[in-house]
C-alpha cells in the first residue's frame, strides 16, 4: 500500500501538481480510515489531502483513473466469464431482447448495428447507468478494433467507436421518440430541457467509452506509460496556440478568477506604495496640536499615474486565441488603466474600442470583434507592415508620453515589407512599447518571423505562451 | 485517535462516511460522497477543512449542519480586510485593568503582584478563536471567507490550525481541551498561502448535480410537488450552462422555487419562467441573455 501510494504521488508530481511531504503523509493516514474497497471514498480521501486547488482536480482525476484503473474488482476487463454485476446485467438485457423476438445471439457480435443502436437508445432514454456502462464496454469491444501493442493513441479508438455509434443522430432520434411519447405537444421550453437532459446523458456515455478505452490501454501498456501519454498540462500552462476546445473552455473558466485576483493585487500594490517626500504643510498643521513642535512628520503619498493603454493585436488564425485572451484580460482589469484602446488587424487595421464600451459582456464584444471588424485589406494573410502603417497614419497622433503600446502577434509577416520604422516612431513618442509573442522563443526569427527586427525598437519582447506568463506580464505592466 | 501534540484525545464523532451522510440528511443538508467523506476524514485526522466553491453553494451551511448533528456549539469568525489578532484571538480588557489599578491606588501593593493580577484570565477578553479552544463542550469553529483577510493575517491562524493552541505572551500557551472541528470557507478571490493550505483538507463544493439539486429543493421547500421540483432543477441547470456573469446559486434556486409556490404555479411554462427570472439572476445583462435563450428554441 505504502509503495502504491508513493508511486501515485510521484506520478502526480510528474504531472506538475505540487504535492508536499506533509500532504503525502496526510494521505497515507487518511486512507487508513477509509474502507479500501470503496473506490469513490478512496479517491476523495486522496483528493482532499493531496490536491489543494480546484483547477488541478482534473489532472488529479486523470492520473487517478490511470494509476488505479486496473485495481478494484468492478473495473476488471470482462471477457465474458467474470461474474460481475455488469456482465449479469448484460445477459439479462440480452434475454430480454430475445424474448422480444429480436434474436441477439452470442453477445453483440451477432447483432446488426441497427439493433445495437436501438438498445443504446433505450438505455439512454431510460437513463440507466449500469446499462450504459455495459453498452460502453461492449461497444468498445466491438467497434474500436483494439489490438495489443498497436502504437495508436486512445483518441483514435475513441473516434472509431463513436463513428460507429453515430451519437449525434441518436440525439435527434431520441427527441423524435419523446415527442411521440408525450401525451400533448411539447412546449419549446420542455423540448429544450428534454434535449439538454439527453445531451447530458450522451456526454456521460462518451465518458464511459473513454474510460473503457483507457482501461484497456492501461492493461496493454502499463500504467506508467499511459500516465505519460495522458499527462495534460494544468490550465495555466496550456499553450494558447495549441489549445484544444476543451482546454479553451477550461482556460476561459480560469481566466475569470485570475482577473479578479490580479485586479485586487494591482489595486493593493498602488495603495501600499512607498512613502513620498515630506509633506511640509501637513506636518506644520499637525504640529499645532503639539504646541508647534513638529513631532509627527507627515509624508506625501505618491500617486502613480495610471498608464494609458493601446493594444494592437493580430487576430489572424494562428494567433487569434492569444489575442482574444489578452484582450479579455486587459478589459477585465481596465479599471487599472486610465484609458484602454484596442486595435485589431490581419492585413488591414480597425479600431474596436467601441465594441467593448457598448457592452459589459466581454465575450460578446470579442464575438463582434471577430465578425464585424474590418481587418482584411487584400488577401487576409497577416501583413504587419501594412497594418502598422495604417495605425501610424490614422492613430499615430494619439500616441503620447503617457501611452503604453502593446503589440500582440507572432510577427510572421508572410515576407511582406516590415515597415519597422513605425515601431521605432511609436517608441520615441510613447512611454513604453512592448511586444508579446505567443510562440516559443526557439521559433522566433525562423521562417517568416521577424520579431527580432521589430523587437529592437521595443522596450521588450515577451514570450506569452500561457496564462501564467501573460499574468506575469500584466502585473508588471500596471 | 490520539493526537501527539498534547491535546486531549477526542472521541470520534462519526462512525463511517454513510453515517455522516445520513445524519446530514436528517437536518436537511444533502451531502454528496465527497462532502461526507471529507467531513468524516476531518474528524478522524483532526484536521481543519478548507471549503472552496462559488458563492451560495452551501459552504457555510455545511458547517452549521455539522454543528447541529454533532450537537456542538458553533463559533463563527467572520473575516474581513483589516481583521487583526485583537478581533480574532484575544484582547486585554484595558478599561477593567485601569479600574483595578485605580481601586488599589493608595494601598501599598507590590507592582509585581499587581501585574500578575491584571494579566490574568479575569481581564482577558476571549475572541472567537480563543473561545473555540478553551470551550469545554464540543465546538465547531467556522472561519468564514478567509480569503478576505490579508496574507499577513493568515499567519494568525496557523498556530491554532495545526496545533490547536494559542500562545499569549503574558499567560503562556493555552492548549485545546478538545479538538474542535474547523471549517474555513473561501470564495477564492485570492490564492491562499501554501502554509495554510498544507494544514487543511481541501473540499471543493460546486453547484449540485441535477438529481441532488432536485432533492435539495424537495427537502427545503415544503409542499412542493416532485414534478415542479424536477422542472426547477432542470431549468436552473439549463441556465447555468449559459455564459453568465453570475450563475444562479442553490439558495437562489430555493428562493425561486418558494416564489413559484407562493404564486401557486404547478408547472412552469415559458411565460412564468421569464417573468420570475429576476429571482434567479441578479444582473440585467444576464437576465436579458437568459430570456433570449429560453424563448428561442434550438
Residues B118 and B38 in one domain: no
* β-pair type (A339-345, A432-437): unpaired
Residues B30 and B167 in one domain: yes
Selection from A40-44, A130-134, A135-139, B72-76 with the highest mean pLDDT: B72-76
Q: Does residue A88 carry a pLDDT above 60?
A: no
Query: Are B254 and B230 in contact, with CB atoms under 8 Å apart?
Result: no
Q: Does residue A81 carry a pLDDT above 60?
A: no
Q: Which domain holds residue B196?
A: 17-87+127-204
Q: Does residue A19 carry a pLDDT above 50?
A: yes
Q: Does residue B269 carry a pLDDT above 50?
A: yes
**CA–CA distances in Å: residue A388 to residues A293, B64, B115:** 61, 60, 76
Closest residue in A to B204 (Cα) is A54
Q: Does residue A105 carry a pLDDT above 50?
A: no
Q: Could you read off the pLDDT of A142-177 as tens digits, one per residue?
A: 777 766 666 666 677 777 777 777 777 777 777 777
Q: Does residue A60 carry a pLDDT above 80?
A: yes
Taking residues B4-26, report their average pLDDT: 69
Strands of B83-148 (E only): list them. Answer: 90-92, 124-126, 139-144
CA angle B193, B198, B201 (to 5 degrees): 115
With beta carbons under 8 A apart, name residues in chain B contacting A191. 297
Taking residues A314-321, report their average pLDDT: 79
Q: Which helix (H) or strand (E) holds B274?
A: helix B270-275
Minimal C-alpha gap between A436 and chain B (Å): 26
Residues B98 and B75 in one domain: no
- pLDDT-above-90 percentage for chain A: 0
With beta carbons under 8 A apart, name residues in chain B contacting A196. 234, 237-238, 241
Counting DSSP H helices and E strands in chain B, the numbers are 15, 9
Say if B268 is an interface residue toward chain A (CB within 8 Å).
Answer: yes
Q: How many structural domains is chain A composed of? A: 3
Question: How does residue B51 score in pLDDT terms, banded at 50, 70 and 90?
Answer: very high
Q: How does DSSP assign A461-475, residue by residue?
A: EEE--SHHHHHHHHH
Taking residues A264-290, report their average pLDDT: 74
CA distance B111 to B105: 11
Counted across chains A and B, CB pairs separated by less than 8 A come out at: 101
Query: Are A458 and A435 in contact, with CB atoms under 8 Å apart?
Result: yes
Q: Does residue A85 carry a pLDDT above 60?
A: no
Closest residue in A to B283 (Cα) is A360
Q: What is the pLDDT of residue A154?
A: 67
Q: Which of B41, B149, B209 to mutate to test the interface with A (most CBs of A within 10 A)?
A: B41
In this structure, the number of other CB atoms found within 10 A of the CB of residue A400 comes to 11
Is B7 among the domain residues? no
Minimal C-alpha gap between B270 and chain A (Å): 6
Q: Does residue A227 carry a pLDDT above 70?
A: no
Q: Residues near A453 by Cβ (< 8 Å), separated by ≥ 6?
A: A411, A418, A420
Question: How does residue B108 score in pLDDT terms, banded at 50, 70 and 90?
Answer: low
Q: How many structural domains is chain B composed of? A: 3
Q: Does residue A337 carry a pLDDT above 60?
A: yes
> CATH number for the domain including B138?
3.40.50.300
Say if B275 is an interface residue toward chain A (CB within 8 Å).
Answer: no
Residues B152 and B223 in one domain: no
Q: What is the pLDDT of residue B6?
A: 38
In this structure, the number of other CB atoms found within 10 A of the CB of residue A144 comes to 21
Q: How does DSSP assign A27-90, residue by residue?
A: HHHHHHTS-TT-HHHHHHHHHHHH---GGGHHHHHHHHHHHTTTSSGGGSPP-S-S--HHHHHH
Taking residues A124-144, report their average pLDDT: 75
Question: How does residue B75 score in pLDDT terms, banded at 50, 70 and 90?
Answer: very high
CA distance A464 to A239: 9
CA distance B282 to B288: 11
Q: Does residue A57 carry a pLDDT above 70?
A: yes
Cross-strand partners of A276: none
Q: What is the pLDDT of residue B29?
A: 86
Is B268 among the domain residues? yes
Question: How does residue A252 score in pLDDT terms, banded at 50, 70 and 90?
Answer: confident
Domain boundary residue, one of B204, B229, B249: B204
CA distance A45 to B46: 14
Minimal C-alpha gap between A261 and chain B (Å): 5
Q: What is the pLDDT of residue A267?
A: 65
Q: Does residue A206 carry a pLDDT above 70?
A: yes
Domain boundary residue, one of A40, A68, A96: A68
- pLDDT-above-70 percentage for chain A: 78
Nearest to B52 among A35, A38, A54 (CB): A54
Domain boundary residue, one of B204, B235, B264: B204
Residues B260 and B179 in one domain: no
CA distance A315 to A324: 8
CA distance B174 to A42: 36
Closest residue in A to B241 (Cα) is A196
Q: Does residue A313 carry a pLDDT above 70?
A: yes
Is B274 among the domain residues? yes
Mean pLDDT score of chain A: 76
Q: Residues near B166 by Cβ (< 8 Å), separated by ≥ 6?
A: B89, B90, B129, B130, B133, B159, B160, B173, B174
Q: What is the pLDDT of residue A161?
A: 77
Domain boundary residue, one of A68, A99, A120: A68
A77-81, A335-339, B214-218: range with lowest mean pLDDT: A77-81
Say if B292 is an interface residue toward chain A (CB within 8 Å).
Answer: no
Q: Does residue A198 carry a pLDDT above 60?
A: yes
Minimal C-alpha gap between A224 and chain B (Å): 27
Residues B143 and B55 in one domain: yes
Q: Burial, B199: exposed, middle or buried (Cβ in 10 Å; 0-12, 13-18, 19+)?
A: buried
Nearest to A22 among B38, B198, B245 (CB): B198
Taking residues A416-427, report their average pLDDT: 86
With beta carbons under 8 A apart, name residues in chain B contacting A261. 189-191
Query: Are A419 and A435 in contact, with CB atoms under 8 Å apart?
Result: no
Q: What is the pLDDT of residue A299?
A: 82
Q: Does residue B78 carry a pLDDT above 80?
A: yes
Residues B189 and B109 in one domain: no
Domain boundary residue, one of B126, B154, B187: B126
Q: Which is more confidently placed, A336 or B216?
A: B216
CA distance A206 to B73: 47
Residues B261 and B280 in one domain: yes
Nearest to B33 among A41, A49, A264 (CB): A41
CA angle A40, A41, A42 (to 5 degrees): 90
Q: Which domain holds residue A446?
A: 305-477
CA distance A382 to A315: 9
Q: Does residue A224 carry a pLDDT above 80?
A: no
Q: What is the pLDDT of residue A151?
A: 62
Residues A323 and A428 in one domain: yes
* CA-based nearest residue to A253, from B193, B277, B240, B210: B240
Is B118 among the domain residues? yes
Q: How does DSSP assign B141-159, residue by residue?
A: EEEETGGGS-HHHHHHHHH
Question: How does residue A42 score in pLDDT terms, banded at 50, 70 and 90?
Answer: confident
Query: Are A271 and A478 in contact, with CB atoms under 8 Å apart?
Result: no
CA distance A201 to A117: 15
Question: How does residue B234 score in pLDDT terms, banded at 50, 70 and 90?
Answer: confident
Question: How does residue B140 score in pLDDT terms, banded at 50, 70 and 90?
Answer: very high
Q: Could you read off the pLDDT of B149-187 as tens digits, one per residue?
A: 877 778 888 888 888 888 888 888 888 888 889 999 988
Q: Could you read off the pLDDT of A376-392 as tens digits, one per residue?
A: 776 777 888 888 888 88
ipTM for this prediction: 0.80
With beta carbons under 8 A apart, name residues in chain A contacting B235. 189, 193
Q: Does residue A89 carry a pLDDT above 60?
A: no
Amino acid at each position: 500500500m505504502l509503495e502504491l501510494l508513493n508511486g501515485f504521488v510521484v506520478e502526480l508530481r510528474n504531472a506538475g501538481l505540487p504535492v508536499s511531504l506533509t500532504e503525502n503523509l496526510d494521505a497515507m493516514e487518511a486512507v487508513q480510515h477509509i474502507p479500501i474497497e470503496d473506490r469513490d471514498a478512496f479517491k476523495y480521501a486522496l483528493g482532499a489531502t493531496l490536491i489543494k486547488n480546484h483547477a488541478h482536480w482534473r489532472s488529479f482525476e486523470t492520473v487517478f483513473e490511470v494509476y488505479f484503473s486496473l485495481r478494484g474488482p468492478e473495473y476488471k476487463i470482462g471477457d465474458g466469464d467474470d461474474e460481475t454485476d455488469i456482465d449479469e446485467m448484460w445477459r439479462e438485457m440480452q434475454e430480454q431482447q430475445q424474448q422480444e423476438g429480436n434474436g441477439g445471439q452470442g453477445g453483440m457480435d451477432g447483432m446488426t448495428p441497427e439493433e445495437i443502436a436501438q438498445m443504446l437508445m433505450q438505455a439512454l432514454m431510460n437513463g440507466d447507468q449500469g446499462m450504459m456502462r455495459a453498452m460502453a464496454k461492449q461497444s468498445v469491444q466491438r467497434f474500436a478494433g483494439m489490438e495489443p501493442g498497436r502504437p495508436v493513441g486512445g483518441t483514435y479508438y475513441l473516434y472509431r467507436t463513436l463513428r460507429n455509434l453515430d451519437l449525434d443522430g441518436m440525439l435527434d432520434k431520441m427527441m423524435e421518440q419523446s415527442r411521440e411519447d408525450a401525451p400533448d405537444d411539447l412546449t419549446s421550453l420542455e423540448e429544450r430541457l428534454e434535449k439538454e437532459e439527453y445531451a447530458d446523458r450522451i456526454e456521460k456515455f462518451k465518458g464511459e467509452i473513454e474510460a473503457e478505452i483507457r482501461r484497456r490501454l492501461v492493461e496493454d501498456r502499463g500504467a506508467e506509460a499511459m500516465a505519460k501519454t495522458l499527462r495534460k498540462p494544468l490550465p495555466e500552462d496550456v499553450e494558447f496556440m495549441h489549445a484544444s476546445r476543451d482546454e479553451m473552455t477550461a482556460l476561459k473558466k480560469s481566466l475569470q478568477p485570475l482577473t479578479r485576483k490580479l485586479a485586487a493585487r494591482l489595486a493593493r500594490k498602488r495603495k501600499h506604495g512607498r512613502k513620498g517626500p515630506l509633506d511640509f504643510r501637513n506636518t506644520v498643521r499637525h504640529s499645532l496640536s503639539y504646541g508647534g513642535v513638529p513631532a509627527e512628520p507627515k509624508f506625501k503619498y505618491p500617486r502613480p499615474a495610471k498608464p494609458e493603454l493601446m493594444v494592437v493585436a493580430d487576430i489572424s488564425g494562428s494567433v487569434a486565441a492569444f489575442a482574444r485572451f489578452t484582450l479579455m484580460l486587459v478589459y477585465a482589469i481596465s479599471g487599472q488603466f486610465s484609458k484602454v484602446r484596442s486595435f485589431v488587424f490581419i492585413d488591414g487595421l480597425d479600431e474596436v474600442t467601441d465594441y467593448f464600451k457598448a457592452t459589459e459582456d466581454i465575450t460578446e464584444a470579442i464575438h463582434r470583434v471577430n465578425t464585424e471588424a474590418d481587418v482584411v485589406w487584400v488577401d487576409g494573410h497577416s501583413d504587419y507592415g501594412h497594418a502598422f502603417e495604417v495605425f501610424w497614419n490614422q492613430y499615430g497622433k494619439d500616441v503620447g508620453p503617457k501611452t503604453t503600446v502593446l503589440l500582440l502577434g507572432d510577427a510572421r509577416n508572410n515576407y511582406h515589407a516590415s515597415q519597422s520604422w513605425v515601431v521605432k516612431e511609436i517608441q520615441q513618442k510613447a512611454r513604453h512599447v512592448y511586444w508579446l509573442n505567443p510562440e516559443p522563443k526557439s521559433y522566433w526569427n525562423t521562417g517568416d518571423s521577424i520579431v527580432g527586427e521589430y523587437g529592437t525598437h521595443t522596450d521588450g519582447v515577451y514570450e506569452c505562451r500561457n496564462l501564467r506568463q501573460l499574468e506575469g506580464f500584466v502585473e508588471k505592466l500596471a | 485517535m490520539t493526537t501527539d501534540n498534547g491535546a486531549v484525545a477526542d472521541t470520534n464523532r462519526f462512525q463511517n462516511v454513510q453515517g455522516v451522510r445520513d445524519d446530514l440528511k436528517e437536518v436537511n443538508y444533502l451531502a454528496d460522497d465527497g462532502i461526507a467523506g471529507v467531513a468524516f476524514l476531518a474528524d478522524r485526522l483532526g484536521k481543519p477543512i478548507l471549503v472552496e466553491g462559488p458563492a451560495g453553494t452551501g459552504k457555510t451551511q455545511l458547517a452549521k449542519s455539522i454543528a447541529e448533528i454533532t450537537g456542538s456549539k458553533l463559533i463563527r469568525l467572520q473575516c474581513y480586510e483589516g481583521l487583526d489578532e485583537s478581533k480574532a484571538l484575544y484582547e486585554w480588557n484595558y478599561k477593567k485593568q485601569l479600574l483595578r489599578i485605580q481601586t488599589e491606588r493608595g494601598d501599598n501593593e507590590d507592582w509585581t503582584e499587581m501585574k500578575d493580577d491584571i494579566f490574568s484570565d479575569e481581564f482577558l477578553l476571549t475572541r472567537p478563536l480563543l473561545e473555540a479552544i478553551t470551550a469545554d463542550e464540543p465546538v465547531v469553529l467556522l472561519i468564514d471567507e478567509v480569503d478576505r483577510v490579508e496574507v499577513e493575517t493568515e499567519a494568525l491562524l496557523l498556530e491554532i490550525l495545526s496545533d490547536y493552541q494559542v500562545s499569549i505572551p503574558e499567560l503562556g500557551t493555552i492548549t485545546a481541551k478538545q479538538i474542535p472541528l474547523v471549517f474555513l470557507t473561501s470564495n477564492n478571490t485570492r490564492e491562499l498561502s501554501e502554509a495554510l493550505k498544507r494544514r487543511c483538507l481541501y473540499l471543493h463544493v460546486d453547484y449540485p448535480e441535477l438529481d441532488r439539486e432536485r432533492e435539495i429543493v424537495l427537502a427545503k421547500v415544503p409542499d412542493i410537488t416532485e414534478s415542479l421540483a424536477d422542472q426547477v432543477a432542470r431549468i436552473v441547470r439549463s441556465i447555468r450552462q449559459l455564459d453568465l456573469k453570475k450563475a444562479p446559486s442553490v439558495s437562489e434556486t430555493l428562493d425561486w422555487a418558494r416564489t413559484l409556490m407562493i404564486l401557486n404555479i404547478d408547472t412552469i411554462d415559458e411565460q412564468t419562467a421569464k417573468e420570475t427570472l429576476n429571482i434567479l439572476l441578479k444582473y440585467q445583462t444576464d437576465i436579458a441573455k437568459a430570456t433570449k435563450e429560453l424563448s428561442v428554441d434550438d
